[in-house]
Structure 1
Amino acid sequence: MNNEELQQWVEEVSLQYFGRPFIHKATFNARLKATGGRYFTQSHNIEISPHQLAAFGKEETEKIIKHELCHYHLHILNRGYKHRDQDFKQLLAHVGGSRYCNTLPERKEAKKREYRYLLQCVHCGQQYYRKRRMDVSKYRCGRCSGKLNIKMLDKE
C-alpha cells in the first residue's frame, strides 16, 4: 500500500465513522516503531506506521487510523482531543478505535535481549525480567507474595 491508497483509506474511514471529511494529509512513516500513528496539531496531518500494517493487517491498522482521526476531529471542533480528555475517550469507544497499538514482534525480542536476569516466583511461576541484579530476600512476588528465585540469562 502506498501513501495515495492510505490517503483514500483515511478519507473513507473518516466519512464512514465520523461523518466528517478528512481534508489534510495522511502518510506512512517507516520510522514509527513504538507507536502506531501520530497526529500533528499544527498541520493537522496524520502519520501511520507501515510496520503495524505489515505485522497485524488492515483491521488493526484501521483501529489506529480511527484513533488518530479522533484526535483530528476533536481538535478541529475545539473539544478535548488529548488522551486524558473525556471527549476523546468517549469518541474512541464509540467508533471502535484502539487505545494502544500492538507491540511489534521484533521490538518484543529486542526488549527481552536487554535483560540480564530472570526472577521467577516459586509459588505461582510469575516471571520478571530485570536489567540489574537485586537481592531477592528483600522482595516477594507481586501476584501471590511468594518467594522469588533469580537466574542469570545467557547472552548470545
Structure 2
Amino acid sequence: MENHQLQLLVEKISISFFGKPFRHMAIFNPKLRSTGGRYLLGTHNIEINKKYLVQLGEDELIGIIKHELCHYHLHLEGKGHQHRDQDFKELLKKVGAPRYCNQLPEAPKKRTAKRILLYECSQCHLQYKRKRSINTSRYVCGKCRGKLVKIKELILE
C-alpha cells in the first residue's frame, strides 16, 4: 500500500464512520517506532506506522486510522481530543476504534552483558563498583585519599 492508497482509505473511513470528510494528509512515516500512528495538532495531518499493516494486517491498520481520526475530528470541533478526555473515549466506543494498538510481534532485543569493575583503596580497603573504567593515577579514595587499585572485572549476563 502506498501513501495515495492510504489517503483514499482514510478519507473513506472518515466519511463512513464519522460522517465527515478528512481534508488533510495521511502518510506512512517510517520513523515511527513505538506507536501505530499519530495525529499532528499543528498541521492536522495523520502519520501511520507501516509496520503495523505489514505485520498485523489491514484490520489493525483500520483500527489505528479510526483512532487517529477520533483525535482529528474532536480537535477540529474544539472538543476533548486527548486520551484522558471523556469526549474522546465516547467517540472511540461509538466508531469501534481501539484505545491502544496491539504490540508488534518483533523479536525482543537481546540483552547485553553488564560489565562491573571493582576497585579498592589500598589503605582503608573501601570498595567501589563502577560501570566505566577509572584512571587510577588521577583519582583517589574519597574517604582517606589512598591509592585505588583495580581488583576485578565482573561480567553479568
Q: What TM-score, normalized to structure 2?
A: 0.70
What letter corresponds to residue 34 of structure 1 in structure 2? Answer: S
More strand by share: 2
Residue 111 of structure 2 corresponds to 114
Deviation at 1:12, TM superposition (A): 0.1
Indicate the percent of aligned positions where both proteins have the same amino acid: 52
Residue 44 of structure 2 corresponds to 44
Distance change (3 Å), C-alpha of 1:62 and 1:115:
farther
Runs of 4+ in 1 over 6 A off after TM superposition: none
Distance 1:80 1:20 in 2: 17
Higher gyration radius (CA): 2
What letter corresponds to residue 98 of structure 1 in structure 2? Answer: P
Deviation at 1:104, TM superposition (A): 1.4
SS in 2 for 1:6: helix
Distance 2:42 2:26 in 1: 14
What letter corresponds to residue 86 of structure 1 in structure 2? Answer: Q
What letter corresponds to residue 61 of structure 1 in structure 2? Answer: L
Q: Residue deviations 1:66-105, cap 9 Å, x none?
A: 0000000000000000000000000001101111111112
Q: Residue deviations 1:48-71, cap 9 Å, x none?
A: 000000010000110000000000
What letter corresponds to residue 14 of structure 1 in structure 2? Answer: S
Q: Is the 8 A contact 1:33 1:104 kept in 2?
A: no
Deviation at 1:25, TM superposition (A): 0.3
Instruction: Provide structure 2 residue ranges, at least 5 long, that are not aligned to the other structure.
Output: 114-155
Instruction: Provide structure 1 residue ranges, at least 5 long, that are not aligned to the other structure.
Output: 117-153
Distance change (3 Å), C-alpha of 1:103 and 1:115:
farther
Taking the TM superposition and a 5 Å limit, the aligned residue runs for 1:108-147 are: 109-110=108-109, 113-114=110-111
Q: What TM-score, normalized to structure 1?
A: 0.70
Residue 5 of structure 1 corresponds to 5
Distance 2:68 2:6 in 1: 13
Deviation at 1:114, TM superposition (A): 3.3
Distance 1:79 1:115 in 2: 46
Residue 131 of structure 1 corresponds to none
